[in-house]
Structure 1
Amino acid sequence: MSVEINTGCAYRDRLIAEWLRMDKNPKTIKELKTLLEQRKYDDISVLLGKRLAFGTAGLRGKMGTGNAQLNDLVIIQTSQGLLKHLVKNREELLKRGGLVVGYDGRHNSKRWAELTASIFVQAGYKVYLFEDVMPTPFVSFAVKQYKCACGVMVTASHNPKEDNGYKVYSDRAVQINEPEDGHIQNAILENLEPWDGSWDTDVLEKSPLLKRPLCDIQCRYLNYIDNAISEESKVLNKKVNLLFTYTPVHGVGYRYVKDICDKINIRLQIVEEQRDPHPDFPTVKYPNPEEGKPVFELAMKTADAHDSKLIMATDPDADRFAMAEKQPCSCWKIFTGNHLGALFAWWMFHSFKQSKNASTIPMDKVYMVYSTVSSMICKSMAKVEGFNTVDVLTGYKWIGSKALELEEKGNKVIFAFEEAIGYLVTTEILDKDGVSACAQMVTCASYVYSQGKTMDQMLAEIFDKYGLHITNNSYYICKDADVIERIFERLRNFRGQNTYPESVLNGKYKIKNIRDLTTGYDDNQQDKKAILPVSPSSQMITFYFENGTVCTLRTSGTEPKIKYYVELCASPDNKDAGAIKSTLDEMVKGICEEFLEPAKNKIAHQSEVK
């Protein structure tokens, strides 16, 4: 398809000519030429004029032509920039340890992993390229095991089938963070021209620098998780003999979840229709267990048919974990990420107290970590039990880094979580991990059921002891960045310049403090400066109400969403759940109407499963 490049804009014409000269993929070349033929010049300007940047989970976006999407050329440019950055900053480690590269079951994932590997191999560096799809946490684990300079995982986790991503781990086995992500971004911009051989993946099989680590890492990883479960718990697992229904939601989790469950004496019933990786996720609209019933529907049918009372799910790259339980009314309860956070926190603390470490590690050295938008149940537990908690920004680039930092100072991190069903149950894997989370939660369930309780009843006991924590989290879809900007700027200038809201519902619920991690303002602090890192490129404001409610409004780092997270933490002596929930619902309604109402015609509310 030949086409004349004359769009009436010299800058755009230069970008088009440059792309067509550098791109060698027939599909993405055809996409651009078709847009040219259709005279969709505004679309072309967006696709070529903007470039994907590192967010809370690396690069992530739709697959297709242009700098603003993911494709062969963008992957090559990203890998070239990453290589130059590593040579400049960690060359000796790169020479000794090389690079780890993995991929999930999405369209293009394997090819982009191979393109990345080939660039490093041709530059003379060792690459551990996984020979098959595997869970994202394997990359973090392998970087630590092999002492590599870096790790790359090609995945879009739970995003829709049209998306993919490029996640980078540092030599510390945690996702890259500021300022390194910015340095890599600059190196990418300095290395946009594909090098000789960058498109050639045939060199991989001939190179002695290519290593295939899957069997070794799988063995080490599963053995480590296995050893983290006590022999007493394995005996109890077998004795209680619960049957768990499991779905990997067309992702990579089946092989690994089954293997660890076999090791620790757990019976599984697989959702066969969703067992194997499939890039189109044919049985679900969105392959995200957070979506609730639509994702769990087949698992519920399978569980009902086999008289299984517990369902487990991992997302497509098996770094997230979800669970549902059959209730006495025969309906299913899908636990929220915060509910599971409470159950995990209780279980990991219970397990720690039963372990040999409990007698050697003082309680003031024990920590749990959670994200700022997650339930504060860990903090409530810590007040009673005597351990410590730390809250960090959203995303495991912050959670993993903080866990590592604490342990390097001689502390013991026994648990970390974010409400988006992401759990860290061992610092041997400095990332959220659905497989190790699964091993701990099924063992927890065996223990709870052996006590004659259900998981829902156990959750109620946790809240009874530490105080009821009720959350109301949801989001609005907004694809217009200018509208999002106006919403948050209005909140910062609510009653005039540099003023925030003082209350909702005409003063009924007063705001005590405000933290704005976009601007760095935090009146919780004496100098009114935020302690947590500030990010001017993302929107995030937290309101602390006098009645103990905390509300955070933020933009998503991976999707066109305005998210809200509202939690009311009651004291242990307040047992009136109905009144607490009524208050929370009233406050959420007021917050949405008063803080987001001016943009009501520009945003679309989406309900989340509670």
Structure 2
Amino acid sequence: MTPEDWIAHDPDPVTAAELAACSPDELTHRFATPLRFGTAGLRGPVRAGPDAMNLAVVLRASWAVARVLSAHQRSGATVVVGGDARHGSAQFATATAEVFAGAGFSVLLLPEPSPTPVVAFAVRYTGAAAGVQITASHNPASDNGYKVYFDGGIQIIAPIDTEIEEAMADAPPADTIARRPVTPAGDELAARYIARAATVRHSRSGVRVALTPLHGVGGKVAVAVLRAAGFPDIHTVSSQFEPDPDFPTVTFPNPEEPGATDALLELAAEVDADVAIALDPDADRCAVGVCGPQGWRMLSGNETGWLLGDYVLSKLPTARAGGTVVATSVVSSRMLARIAQHYGSRHVEMLTGFKWLARADMPPVGLRHATLAYAYEEAIGYCVDPEAVRDKDGISAAVLACDLVASLRDRGSSIPQALDGLARRHGVHVTDAVTRRVGSPAEAAGVMARLRADPPDQLAGFAVAASDLLHRSGPVTDALEFAGERDGTAVRVVVRPSGTEPKLKCYLEVTRPPSEDLAGDRAEAQRVRQAVADVVRAW
């Protein structure tokens, strides 16, 4: 479709006027690379043109998803649609619902801005054929996205994403796509989610919680879930509680970013909280803060992943453990594999992203004769109740984290002591992430090509072997792994381009076997980690 045709058929007069005012060079740029399906959907800046998120793109994407569902004999089935509180989300969610209704599907449109896990839960709970959540998760305020779930509330993978892209290329002009008004559903699905998420706890003791949803849509639901779970003593960061698409108090609305949780940790110290919880804007990620010998700090995604995984497995009956599987991504720490072995459970390492992790017990990509009990990725994503939500869920993870803190306190222990216990049992695991912002995907691809053509054979004095995850059996991903060992210390680095942001990411892990000298092992592992980080920053 030419820019002139697109403008003539743009159903939004604002974006049509925006394109009409663009210079020829800018028009060429915006039409050169239409949005592609990446992490289970589309994600990009909110502005006019096929390379961004706008009404025309959303209408065409919804038409394409409906077409693919029909091609897979799901015509007339139920589709769940939700959206967060970002710029454009309400308009995009309504338009998405109207396209599915116009195509003959039964549509459940959630009545207000909703956390992503509620949509994932609703698809699974209702047996819907698909779900769409309008969200850009923790991306900058300028972005929005279109996330697609199919059967079981699991993010789509190939070939479905390719089929949708191909259908989008054949979509009719946006203003000719059939739409039918949809009356939003009631609050029942959100209430069902709240009731289910509250059940993941095991202890009965309470804790004092400091909470921030970082201007996202998780605050109201998280408070309701925590209270239903028996945690009424909740203190929230008032300046960040209400949804605000501009995220005014943070540079980046991601709990992992420096400074993003400063207000939360200040509140936690002020109210003498037992645990601090930060959700990302669509509440599918959860960061946990604790007070230790040096004061309050946020745990790394891996540290929380180890703790929750150990807690989940410790609560399984011994007879069930052998039939369960836990999963991590290739860029996450490998300690969970040792934890699983300790409990007699199975562990599998999946590709990055919950579209893969959620399939850890689903052949051909996952294990046979196993039931997924838990999955996590280092980017503060945790699936703690796979029967209900087959995706990362920051709210249910928050409940389990609070429950773990309460359980440890009942035994006279704490999170720092629990981490020490894991290190004594399974060895010291020190992790880090080095992020390099790039100007474009092409720049990231250039670095990856250079590393493939001339892979390093040493890292900070460690001889390492390279593995290319783009050329392996089974599902592949654009990533390189470098691993080596010397005198009991092992190093591992995985480098890959981000699937959602202009970044090149390097994931580091240094491990040492269990010993009596925990402090010395940690100091040595940290020394090696710093040396390796210095090397990869120069890549």
* TM norm. shorter chain > 0.5: yes
1:333 aligns with 2:270: no
Among candidates 269, 284, 288, match of residue 323 of structure 1: 288
Match of 1:390 in 2: 348
Residues 392 and 532, structure 1, Cα contact 8 Å, conserved in 2:
no
Could you report, residue by residue, the CA deviation over 1:77-136 in whole angstroms, capped at 9, with x for unpaired residues?
Answer: 111111111111133xx42x3110010011111110110111111222210000011110
1:410, 1:493 → 2: CA distance?
40
Change in 2 beyond 3 A, CA 1:563/1:408: closer
Among candidates 423, 435, 443, match of residue 382 of structure 2: 423
1:482, 1:164 → 2: CA distance?
22
Q: Which amino acid aligns with 1:212?
A: A
Among candidates 245, 264, 268, match of residue 303 of structure 1: 268
2:421, 2:171 → 1: CA distance?
57
Among candidates 463, 467, 470, match of residue 515 of structure 1: 467
Match of 1:459 in 2: 419
Counting only pairs closer than 5 Å after superposition, residues 123-522 of structure 1 correspond to structure 2 as: 123-194=103-174, 196=176, 198=178, 203-205=181-183, 212-213=185-186, 215-230=187-202, 233-234=203-204, 236-237=205-206, 242-266=207-231, 267-292=233-258, 294-329=259-294, 331-352=295-316, 358-361=317-320, 363-405=321-363, 409-427=368-386, 428-494=388-454, 500-505=455-460, 508-511=461-464, 513-518=465-470, 520=471
Change in 2 beyond 3 A, CA 1:588/1:264: same
- Name stretches of at least 5 consecutive residues in structure 2 with no aligned partner: none
Aligned length: 530
Residues 360 and 367, structure 2, Cα contact 8 Å, conserved in 1:
no
2:293, 2:423 → 1: CA distance?
20
Q: Which amino acid aligns with 1:478?
A: V
Among candidates 512, 520, 544, match of residue 483 of structure 2: 544
Change in 2 beyond 3 A, CA 1:154/1:403: farther
Among candidates 48, 52, 59, match of residue 69 of structure 1: 52
Could you report, residue by residue, the CA deviation over 1:133-179 in whole angstroms, capped at 9, with x for unpaired residues?
Answer: 11101122111111111110000011111000000001232000011
Could you report, residue by residue, the CA deviation over 1:232-277 in whole angstroms, capped at 9, with x for unpaired residues?
Answer: x12x23xxxx211111111111222111211222121111111111
1:479, 1:407 → 2: CA distance?
35
2:534, 2:367 → 1: CA distance?
44
TM-score normalised according to structure 1 size: 0.83
1:264, 1:84 → 2: CA distance?
41
Q: Which has the larger radius of gyration?
A: 1
1:220, 1:68 → 2: CA distance?
37
Match of 1:15 in 2: 2
Match of 2:503 in 1: 561
**1:345 Cα deviation (Å)?**
1.2
1:304, 1:380 → 2: CA distance?
34
2:370, 2:442 → 1: CA distance?
44
2:135, 2:442 → 1: CA distance?
29
Q: Which shows bigger deviation, 264-273 or 426-435?
A: 264-273
1:107, 1:408 → 2: CA distance?
40
Match of 2:71 in 1: 88
Q: Which amino acid aligns with 1:516?
A: D
1:532, 1:590 → 2: CA distance?
31
TM-score normalised according to structure 2 size: 0.94
Structure 2 SS opposite 1:148: coil
1:56, 1:196 → 2: CA distance?
28
Aligned CA-pair RMSD: 1.9
**1:409 Cα deviation (Å)?**
4.3
Residues 327 and 357, structure 2, Cα contact 8 Å, conserved in 1:
yes
Match of 1:7 in 2: none
2:525, 2:155 → 1: CA distance?
38
Residues 90 and 149, structure 1, Cα contact 8 Å, conserved in 2:
no
Residues 369 and 403, structure 1, Cα contact 8 Å, conserved in 2:
no
Q: Which amino acid aligns with 2:456?
A: P
Residues 434 and 533, structure 2, Cα contact 8 Å, conserved in 1:
no
Change in 2 beyond 3 A, CA 1:571/1:531: farther
Residues 469 and 568, structure 1, Cα contact 8 Å, conserved in 2:
yes
Residues 369 and 417, structure 1, Cα contact 8 Å, conserved in 2:
yes
